[in-house]
Amino acid sequence: MDCKTAEEKLALHLYDELTPAERAELDAHLAACTGCADAAAELNRLRTVLDQRPRPEPSPDLLVRCRFQLEEALDRETSGWRALVHGGFGLWPQGSALRVTAALAVLVVGFSLGWTLRQQTSLPGVAGPAPPAWGSADLSNARISGISRVAPNPQTGAVRITLDAERQFTLEGSLEDPHIQEVLLYAVKSYDNPGIRRDTLEVLRSRGSDPVVRDTLLYALHNDPNDGVRLEVLQALHELAWTPQIRQAVLASLERDTNPGVRVAAINILAQHADEEVLPRLEQLAVEDRNPYVRLKCANAVREKARQEF
């Protein structure tokens, strides 16, 4: 056995994945080769370090919350977003061909003109060879089960929406396209997967000046259950022209959001627009907020404003 082969086998040795014959051969090499023996010792130490990583056990409380959240999501399966793209999402009992056909008819009508529909053979996020164009009629054989990706196409400026079916489909169209906009706005408001909601928000950020998009952002800021999504919304709002409506929304986020990270993000924005309406609120929360770091950030923002005015 040479050193290159030995190096490749060390991890398998460490994790007891070698056959007895392979193990004996590697042990013989390690006994004769100081370099490889050192590498094996280093891997052992690596394992010890990695073992120090905490291994979180699901608490009964977390499990209960997970079950509750799942039950709510299952309840929503027959309404909301699925009624848009539509009804086609969800568990279709075998034989309910009428429902499937009706759902796909909506899809085909909604996604036909002006859209490039392609079969995506690779995994989402992995660019594959140029896929063949698909006609909308091909959707009639598809069973759409969800959205796996929303992303801008940097080459064309369009947006790509990857749908999960027995085969994946990528729908591509301009952000100006009202069908695309409709799907994206519903994805932000109603889709279950927070990662998809954040990806959708990233795409919509470039159209934040559109009143409908702005209203959707404000809706998500107040209603989205995911902290990361609300943070994304705050960042998107930060890029827009500062209006009384946005100020009220960010102030409300500072005062009501349950996550201190989101409240801190709101402070960072408000500190740059600390006017006579914002300042008293910051002063109040510098005393009253339940999180010490949020109180500190509010106090810092007030102090910085006073320093600027001085």
Partner 1 sequence: MPEASPQPDTVDERVLIRQAQRGDRAAFERLVRLYESNVLRLALQLARSEDEARDLYQEAFLKIYRSLHRFRFEARFSTWVYRVVMNVFLDHLRRASRRREMQAPVNEEGGPEFFQTVADERPGLNPERSLRGKEIARRLEAALGRLSPRERLVFELKHYHGLKLRAIGDMCGTSEENAKNSLFRATQKLRAELRELI
Cα–Cα distance measured from residue 290 to residue 296, given in angstroms and rounded to the nearest whole number? 11
Query: Which of 119, 136, 193, 206 is close enough to bind partner 1 by CB under 8 A?
Result: 193
186 binds partner 1 (CB under 8 A): no
Nearest to partner 1 of 171, 177 (CB atom): 171
Judge whether 265 and 231 are in contact, CB under 8 Å.
Answer: yes
Is residue 67 at the binding interface for partner 1, with CB under 8 A as the rule? yes
The reply on whether position 194 binds partner 1 by CB under 8 A is yes
64 binds partner 1 (CB under 8 A): no
Residue type, 83: A
Q: Which is nearer to partner 1, 148 or 181 (CB)?
A: 148
> Residue 102 or residue 112: which is nearer to partner 1 going by CB?
102
Alpha carbons 94 and 7: distance in angstroms, whole number: 52
Report the sign of the C-alpha dihedral through residues 119, 122, 127, 131, in that order. Answer: negative
Output 112 or 240, the one with its CB closest to partner 1. 240
Q: Does 31 bind partner 1 (CB under 8 A)?
A: no
Name the DSSP letter for residue 58. Answer: P
Binding mask 233-262 for partner 1 (x = CB under 8 A): --x------------------------xx-
Q: Residue 50, interface with partner 1 (CB under 8 A)? A: yes
d(CA 260, CA 48): 35
Tracing tokens 């063949």 back to the chain, one arrives at: 132
| Dihedral pair phi/psi, residue 11, rounded to 5° | -65, -40
Asked whether the beta carbons of 98 and 153 are under 8 A apart, the reply is: no
Closer residue to partner 1 in complex, CB, 34/59? 59
Note whether 180 and 210 are within 8 A (CB). no
By beta-carbon proximity to partner 1, the closer residue of 114 and 223 is 223
Q: Judge whether 36 and 3 are in contact, CB under 8 Å.
A: yes
What are the backbone angles phi and psi of residue 215, rounded to the nearest 5°? -65, -35
Contact residue for partner 1 among 28, 70, 113, 137 (CB under 8 A): 70
Please report, as ranges, the residues that interact with partner 1 according to CB under 8 A: 8, 10-12, 14-15, 17, 42-43, 45-50, 52-58, 62-63, 65-67, 69-71, 73-74, 77, 89-94, 123-125, 143, 145-146, 148-149, 166, 192-195, 198-199, 226-228, 231-232, 235, 260-261, 264-265, 268, 291-293, 296
